[in-house]
Amino acid sequence: MRVREGNKEKAIIEAAIKVIAENGYYGAKIHKIAELAGVATGSIYSYYENKLQIIFAIFDNVWKELYEKLELVEQDAAISPSQKLEALIDLVFNLFTENQDLALVFAHEQNVLIRDYPDKFTPYFEKFIQTGQNIISQGIASGVFNPSVNVFILRKYLMGGISGCIQAWALDPSSYSLAEIRDQLKLLAHKGVNI
Amino acid sequence: MRVREGNKEKAIIEAAIKVIAENGYYGAKIHKIAELAGVATGSIYSYYENKLQIIFAIFDNVWKELYEKLELVEQDAAISPSQKLEALIDLVFNLFTENQDLALVFAHEQNVLIRDYPDKFTPYFEKFIQTGQNIISQGIASGVFNPSVNVFILRKYLMGGISGCIQAWALDPSSYSLAEIRDQLKLLAHKGVNI
DNA sequence: ATTAAATTTGAATAGTGGTTCAATATTCAC
DNA sequence: GTGAATATTGAACCACTATTCAAATTTAAT
């Protein structure tokens, strides 16, 4: 019996994030991913069924982690709705601050993947979004958020805005720090542009 | 001398918008676009240099039109900064309300195109964004917008939010009307979620 | 009607890259 | 050390599609 040499599965995922971040999903060639991961081209296929499953795995990891963390925040009655909304923004920004390539993959590929394979995309994303929606609803119920805000539209707006900012940052990280962007987002989400 | 049969250039662009909206840029096959446009495959290449130029032409049309309209609004001293910000949102929403396929192409393809070909993308987009930035700056100068708002980050946030909402709508137009989404966006951009 | 210039056609081409699989290598149990 | 089971390799395969181009078609001028 032979055993697997090391954590090739993880090496492949990490290589894939890097190659997809640089070239996009269609521009990311399997042989490039294999090369960067330090495995043979064919080995990819003993860990993942095909190219699509690799990017699905990337997003599954991301949203599973974010959902589980947000869930803990959402259930904590000691945290105010405003703080929970900020925690949501922090969670996303902290992850992408740690992994810039992942931020690019998120910003460029997720929407297209959801369009093309709505039923195959990780369910954790929808769970994360749903939890965010619950936080807004709590804020409205407790009288701190504006009840005329439509939570469904807000979630699309907020996620779109986060995505737009992260993407701009990832393309030119020198312009503004993610920390600054994060704080601006909190301001805009809470109070908008008006004084 | 033979003359060109009709407006094949326009037919090709319109077919391309439809096919790209349904299948994404990589999924949009030239022969499909040709078929829908009612021309032979080879004819595409007597109107456009290659596949890439077709989608570039789509975005050039979009942003030229939007920029020119926004420019008129921005220069009008009789319109308040708040109204100008709303006009920006209206312009984008009106165009995409008229052409749902165009909305999908915008939401799914633009970011990736800018990443892959930052220098080839239509300059009208940057001009439009710059004009939007000027509107915010005017609002800050005249004391109606919060001066601690970073206009560069705001523009990314707002465009991302608009894009996210339009995309969600285009994927499921029955959930909310674009008019409702547009009004929510105006509320959120101005006042955020707080009361 | 004839000619010439330009357009249109679509089958053939050529390059690409995801996937396969027969061969090789490695590990463990005995 | 031997054999069996599994992992790994990477060259070859093959499906796919953007692009080309020689032939056919159309139009207008004479």
Q: pLDDT tens, B64-85? A: 999 999 999 999 999 999 999 9
- Any idea what DSSP says for residue B185? H
Alpha-carbon span A142 to A165, nearest angstrom = 30
User: Is B136 within 8 Å of B84 (Cβ atoms)?
Assistant: no
Task: Pick the residue from chain B with its C-alpha nearest to A188.
Answer: B192
- Any idea what DSSP says for residue B40? -
Q: Which B residues in the span 43-62 are in contact with A, Cβ-Cβ below 8 Å? A: none
pLDDT at A3 over 80: no
pLDDT at A67 over 80: yes
Amino acid identity of B160? Answer: G
Chain A positions in Cβ-Cβ contact with residue B194 (cut-off 8 Å): 144-146, 190-191
Look over chain A and give the mean of its residue pLDDT values, rounded to a whole number.
Answer: 92
Cβ contacts of A143 within 8 Å, gap of 6 or more: B195
Q: What is the pTM of this model?
A: 0.91
pLDDT at A85 over 80: yes
Å from A72 to nearest chain B CA? 22
pLDDT at A1 over 70: no
**Higher pLDDT pick, B129 / B192:** B129
Secondary structure (H, E, C), B108-162:
HHHHHHHHHCCCCCCHHHHHHHHHHHHHHHHHHHCCCECCCCCHHHHHHHHHHHH
A164 touches chain B (CB under 8 A): yes
Number of inter-chain CB pairs under 8 A, A vs B: 154
User: Is B47 within 8 Å of B8 (Cβ atoms)?
Assistant: yes
Burial of A75 (0-12, 13-18, 19+ CB in 10 A): exposed
For residue B27, what are the CA distances in angstroms to A118, A129, B104? 16, 28, 14
User: Is B74 within 8 Å of B131 (Cβ atoms)?
Assistant: yes
In percent, how much of chain A has pLDDT > 90? 76
pLDDT score at B55: 98
Q: pLDDT tens, A94-141? A: 998 899 999 999 989 998 898 889 899 999 999 999 999 999 999 999
User: Is A81 within 8 Å of A142 (Cβ atoms)?
Assistant: yes
Look over chain B and give the mean of its residue pLDDT values, rounded to a whole number.
Answer: 92
pLDDT at B46 over 70: yes
**Higher pLDDT pick, A4 / A152:** A152
The verdict on a CB contact (< 8 Å) between A163 and B158 is no
Q: How far does the CA of B42 sit from the C1' of D21, in Å? A: 10
Split at pLDDT 50, 70, 90, the class of A168 is confident
Query: Which residue is the nearest neighbor of C8, CA to C1'?
Result: B43
Alpha-carbon span B128 to B67, nearest angstrom = 5
Q: Which A residues in the span 109-128 are in contact with B, Cβ-Cβ below 8 Å? A: 111-112, 115-116
Amino acid identity of A68? Answer: E
CA-only gyration radius of chain A, Å: 19
